[in-house]
Structure 1
Amino acid sequence: MTVGTVDVMLPHYGRLDLVQETIRSVLAQDDPAWRLTVVDDSGPAADDALARWCAALGDERVRYLRNPHNLGINRNFARCVELVSHEHAVLVGSDDLLLPGYVATVRAAFTAHPEVGVVQPGVEVVGRDGLPARTLADLSKRWIFAPRATGVLGGEDLAVSLLRGNWLYFPSLCWRSGPLRRTGFRPGLQVVQDLALVLDLLLAGERLLVVADPVFRYRRHEASVSSAHAADGRRFAEERAFFLDTAARLDAHGWPRAARAARRHLGSRLNALTRLPGALRAGAGAGTLARHAFTR
């Protein structure tokens, strides 16, 4: 059976110009079977520029909603999940871009593999200026941690792979809405909420399909929340607690190899280690980074 409309959920907080680029990339899809929902978490004091701009588009597939008060990252993502009404959805970052073939590619993927819960399409990484970027984090994802083959992955093997180093690009993932709503985001998490969600789905028996076609453009820049939290060590304090808790859950589930990978969390340690020189120069967060990189 052919997959229907894809809900493009856009949790927004930040620059107007970047979110406008994201919205334009949705409007430029080759496949018109999408609906875009912008969930603005800027708070009641923000101006109405984005609301007016969305209304002026004159496209009934675009709806704009503003939260009555600022929810924060985790709860705004949860709000987006609550608002999903079609069978498949993507939670795109408000500075990322869907390339023109994105919707057609994920619809074809789910049509061919209706048994999977998540699709990871091919991704291009760009910097703040929109030009191709080759960061250490992305090179590690591609050449060290990501599987060499495309296709359907799942179970403990996929959990081990992701816990060694999370090679997914969360804003590009397209989800089957039923499992996404049933599982949802763990309350209280911010920078690691994406990995937690995927692992929870794996524990529930869901599988992931990796597609090679590059149909998404992920923007990597230091102004992002994950980069800012990594710079001062907050990211790694959250990650350390998450990995220890996850290891215990995986042991209880009967996945000992995945539990060991969670305790080691190699990719996260390497990320902290690469940021340690900058933290030492800045005089902030070095202790947290060092503990995360070297303490078992």
Structure 2
Amino acid sequence: MTTVDVLVPFYGDAALLREAVTSVLAQDDPNWRLTVVDDGGAEDVRPWFATVDDERVRYLRNPRNLGLTGNFNRCLDLVELDLAVLMGCDDRMLPNYVRTVRAAHAADPEAGIIQPGVRVIGPDGRPARTLVDEVKRRIYAPRGRVTLGGEDLAVSLLRGDWLYFPSLAWRADVLTSVRFRRDLRVIQDLALLMELVLRGVRLVVDDTPCFEYRRHGASESSATAFDGSRFTEAGEFFAATADRLTRHGWPRAARVARRHVSSRIFALTMLPRAVRQGAGMRALVRHALGRR
């Protein structure tokens, strides 16, 4: 029987972590195990976990701080079951999440990645709408139930990364075959995905809503977007990826990576705030113009 390994790398808000854990406990399918890996958050959450009376829940605290990428890779080392999820410590599952991804896996067991339906919430936990998410949903994301792979999947993700990484369910052998890159800060997820796509891994989309992704301005990706460093990293990643795709024999995907239009447009949307803050403008302009 397929069982889902839910791994939560934690460093942040203890109250939001409790919401995340509670949402896993509320699953209507019991075939899951939850592991929280604490990388030294500001607040000690061990006393709260001592009150959680469920043998499927385990709490681990790293003996030393590993940092964001290190803690994600630590979670990969702990995957043991059939499917795995690297859930954000401030996100929430709807009660049907485990049931939905298990059904998607049963329907296409050869697919390595499952993208279920996602709702976006704000810092207060209420439904939220942002320009980024509306563009993802209306322009880049496929609709209904679909399977993608090969160059078509590479082109789709490089045109605009429409996935919600913390909501993805992975075949365990696929996820544990890779590692997050320590030289990247905010584009690790796309880099890991492209590595797997190049290896022939296919992705299944099932748009049944079953996950709540929290969008807020305190994240690493938001901070680096406003200071421009995100786009310096992104430009270097897209250039290297374009070269690799050319060598791989995927010219369409290489062209999309080299142009990275959606990333450049996103940089333009950040310019007004950068002007007000007086920081990051040069990096944003260079990226928007496609200059490294």
Return the TM-score normalized by structure 2: 0.97
Residue 65 (structure 2) pairs with residue 70 (structure 1) = yes
- SS of the residue corresponding to residue 171 of structure 1 reads helix
Supply the distance in 2 between the matched residues of 1:47 and 1:97 (Cα, whole angstroms). 20
Supply the distance in 2 between the matched residues of 1:275 and 1:42 (Cα, whole angstroms). 32
Equivalence map 1:241-260=2 (5 Å):
241-260=236-255
* Equivalent residue number for residue 280 of structure 2: 285
* Equivalent residue number for residue 20 of structure 1: 18
* Equivalent residue number for residue 38 of structure 1: 36
Supply the distance in 1 between the matched residues of 2:66 and 2:226 (Cα, whole angstroms). 23
* Equivalent residue number for residue 125 of structure 2: 130
Q: How big is the alpha-carbon RMSD for the aligned residues of Structure 1 and Structure 2?
A: 1.2
- SS of the residue corresponding to residue 183 of structure 1 reads coil
- SS of the residue corresponding to residue 232 of structure 2 reads helix
Supply the distance in 1 between the matched residues of 2:18 and 2:237 (Cα, whole angstroms). 34
Supply the distance in 2 between the matched residues of 1:150 and 1:233 (Cα, whole angstroms). 36
Match of 2:86 among 91, 97, 109: 91
- SS of the residue corresponding to residue 56 of structure 1 reads coil
* Equivalent residue number for residue 47 of structure 2: 52
Kept in 1, the 8 Å contact 2:32–2:98? The answer is yes
Supply the distance in 2 between the matched residues of 1:29 and 1:241 (Cα, whole angstroms). 41
Percent identity over paired residues: 61
Structure 2 letter corresponding to 1:142: R
Match of 1:159 among 129, 133, 154: 154
Gaps of 5+ in 2: none
Supply the distance in 2 between the matched residues of 1:188 and 1:120 (Cα, whole angstroms). 26
Supply the distance in 2 between the matched residues of 1:150 and 1:291 (Cα, whole angstroms). 38
Equivalence map 1:120-269=2 (5 Å):
120-269=115-264
Supply the distance in 2 between the matched residues of 1:18 and 1:163 (Cα, whole angstroms). 31
Structure 1 letter corresponding to 2:47: R
- Report deviation, 1:238: 1.2
* Equivalent residue number for residue 82 of structure 1: 77
- Report deviation, 1:47: 4.7
- SS of the residue corresponding to residue 182 of structure 1 reads coil
- SS of the residue corresponding to residue 108 of structure 1 reads helix
Kept in 2, the 8 Å contact 1:191–1:225? The answer is yes
Supply the distance in 2 between the matched residues of 1:58 and 1:158 (Cα, whole angstroms). 42
Structure 2 letter corresponding to 1:4: T
- Report deviation, 1:226: 1.0
Structure 2 letter corresponding to 1:14: G
- Report deviation, 1:145: 1.3
- Count of residue pairs the alignment pairs up: 291
Supply the distance in 2 between the matched residues of 1:66 and 1:155 (Cα, whole angstroms). 38
**Residue range with higher mean Cα deviation, 147-156 or 250-259:** 147-156
**Residue range with higher mean Cα deviation, 176-185 or 90-99:** 176-185
- Report deviation, 1:254: 0.5
Gaps of 5+ in 1: none
- SS of the residue corresponding to residue 261 of structure 1 reads helix
Structure 1 letter corresponding to 2:155: V
- SS of the residue corresponding to residue 78 of structure 1 reads helix
Kept in 1, the 8 Å contact 2:144–2:206? The answer is no
Deviations 1:20-47 (A, max 9, x none): 100000000001111110011126xx55
- SS of the residue corresponding to residue 30 of structure 2 reads coil
